[in-house]
Amino acid sequence: MSTHITEPVRPSIQPLYEHLSAAISLIGDYVVIQNPDHSIIWLNDVARASLGVPAGSSEGLMCYDLLEPMGMPCHNCPIERALATGKTVRERVVNNSTGEWEISCTPVRNPGGETTVVEVIRNRTDRHFESSPVACIALDKSHAIVASNDAWYSLMQTTPNETGPKRREPPRFCTLIAPSDLGMYEEIIESVQAGSEFPEDFRIRLVRSDGETFLARILTRNRRASDSPSNLHYFLVQDLSEEAELHDKFSSALARSRALLREVHHRVKNNIQIMLSMLNLQKESLTQDESKEVVRSFSRRIRSMVAVHEDLYISDRNSFLALDRYLDVLSREICTPESPSESPGYLMLRADAIECTAGTAITIGLLFNEIIDGIIVRSGEYRWDCVDGISVTLVDGSRYVTLSVEYEGDEIPADSLGNRLVEALGTQLEAGISRDIMGEKRIIRVQIPKRILFTDS
């Protein structure tokens, strides 16, 4: 004989019954009272609302049809075990369509000897997400969404499924992916099915209920199905629409700034070239050789600055340039004769690939120019014939970049303007400068701290 909760309650316990019914209805978990044959006697309001069971219409509803229509009791049913032992039984049940549940069953025997079972069902899958402000979903082996939180419904502009015990199949995640990105997700699924892990973080375009497409970032948990006792994959979903829009605006602004900066480099280069042309015209009008060499030295210093702006304009790097390429340009400039009567110079350069800021490059270029000038200028004239070859190396070390200049010739006069400029520029670079003699060779070494390369010295 079945016991029905709707049978008249004795007037003496009516107030207590009403209070207990109200209290149970407020519990956030499903509370179910059922007969030993699994037929449901009573459901609390939370269970009714979630499962779509109208009040007073639990006749014929079986407990094993609550989570998913099965037509028979669950394997190793906790209710039957509670009835057999007379004790409370707690068990976790995993359902591929509805997620992970914790079930507690307690048998209750009334004074007439009849037994009913009080069952409390807690959705453990939802507990992973319910307090999270980030959209969260759980996917089963077929990648159907078996659980989600309010943030997910808000993100996708949809509502929870509340269609009752014989509810529709849960939506598959792939049906929410934009067609343009579906192939990428299918490749991920194939890789996971072959035993690989889900990517820890990937981006994909999703489609909201109103058809709007947006970029989403997916953070995965339980990247292998075997990592989770429930065989569920958990996704945290972030809307990147605003981030993508800001990125596009930033990229557009950055492109405009780069174009303007390139134009600045181009104009600076052109203006300095005009100054150089005026200096050359002035040099031609001079009659004293010493004055001509002063102008020539000054022109070389200016050219070392022009080369920086030329490199930045051509490379479109805007702030950093290749120091090795820059020194190669300066070396060619220095070795190129200014008139047909002059012999070309010879300078061998071996340089590691090193980058630095434009400001630091100008300082290093000026220092390099002054060292070479100091070696080849004799009595106010450029005399390559007085030097038996110049070898320059630029080496990238762990803490320092070392510029070494080897040559056979006279020592640079200590009181010369060029030598004073070398010392001043070395101080600006916080560099150590040493001068050594090895046989017939003289070696000038400049050790520059690597941190200086990325500051405008």
What is the CATH classification number for the domain harbouring 354? 3.30.565.10
The whole-chain average pLDDT of the chain stands at: 76
How many distinct structural domains can be found in the chain? 3
Residues 335 and 252 in one domain: yes
Shared domain for 271 and 402, answered yes or no, is: yes
From 232, 275, 453, 251, select the one nearest 363 (Cα to Cα).
453
Which of the residue ranges 187-196, 209-218, 337-346, 408-417 would you say has the lowest mean pLDDT? Answer: 337-346
> Does the pLDDT at position 235 exceed 70?
yes
- Final residue in a domain of this structure, among 206, 239, 272: 239
pLDDT at position 434 is 93
Residues 433 and 302 reside in one and the same domain:
yes
| CB contact at 8 A, 405 and 442 | no
Q: State how far the Cα of 11 lies from the Cα of 431, in Å rounded to an integer.
A: 99
Q: What is the pLDDT of residue 13?
A: 56
Q: Does 323 score more than 70 pLDDT?
A: yes
Structural domain range at position 150 = 135-239
Q: Give yes or no: residues 425 and 296 share one domain.
A: yes
pLDDT at 61: 79
Burial degree of 51 (CB within 10 A; 0-12, 13-18, 19+) = buried
403 and 319, same structural domain? yes
pLDDT tens for residues 270-279?
Answer: 776 777 677 7
In this predicted structure, the answer to whether residue 428 has a pLDDT above a threshold of 70 is yes
pLDDT given for residue 2 in this prediction: 39
- Among 239, 254, 269, give the residue marking a domain's end: 239
- The residue type of 409 is G
Residues 435 and 400 placed together within one structural domain of the fold? yes
Query: Which are the contacts of 139, defined by CB distance < 8 A and separation ≥ 6?
Result: 145, 146, 173, 232, 233, 234, 235
* Residues 6 or more apart whose Cβ sits within 8 Å of residue 196: none
Domain boundary among 239, 264, 286: 239
Same domain for 271 and 186: no
Higher pLDDT, 221 or 13: 221
What is the pLDDT, as a whole number, of residue 417?
80
Q: Please give the backbone phi and psi of residue 47, each rounded to the nearest 5 degrees, phi first.
A: -65, -40
Residues 158 and 270 reside in one and the same domain: no
- Cβ atoms of 203 and 218 within 8 Å: the answer is yes
In terms of phi and psi (left: phi > 0; alpha: psi -120 to 50; beta: otherwise), the region of 304 is alpha
Please tell me the predicted confidence (pLDDT) of residue 351.
92
From 19-28, 102-111, 249-258, 323-332, the region with the lowest mean pLDDT? 19-28
303: nearest Cα among 350, 337, 269: 269
Residue range 60-64: mean pLDDT, rounded? 77
Helix extents (H) in 336-439: 358-376, 417-428
Does 23 fall in a domain? yes
CA dist 160 and 153 (Å) reads: 7
- The region of weakest confidence among 277-281, 348-352, 443-447 is 277-281
pLDDT tens, residue by residue, 82-94: 888 889 988 877 6
| Residues 6 or more apart in contact with residue 166 via CB below 8 angstroms | 65, 69
In this structure, what CATH number is given to the domain that contains residue 202?
A: 3.30.450.20
pTM of the model: 0.43
Q: What average pLDDT does the segment 359-367 reach?
A: 86
Q: Which of 8-17, 151-160, 344-353, 438-447 has the highest mean pLDDT?
A: 438-447
Looking at the structure, tell me whether residues 275 and 371 fall in a common domain: yes
Alpha carbon distance 34, 303 (integer Å): 94
19 & 106 share domain: yes
For residues 37 and 98, state if they share a domain.
yes
Contact 390, 407 (CB under 8 A): yes
pLDDT of the residue at 206: 93
Token digits of residue 130: 């319910």
Contact 27, 59 (CB under 8 A): no
pLDDT single digits (tens) 142-184: 788 877 888 888 888 876 654 333 344 568 888 999 999 999 9
Among candidate residues 360, 332, 327, the one with its CA nearest the CA of residue 344: 332
Instruction: List b or e across 261-282, with b for residues whose CB sees 16 or more CB atoms inside 10 angstroms.
Output: bbeebeebbeebeeebeeeeee
Asked whether the predicted pLDDT for residue 134 surpasses 70, the reply is yes
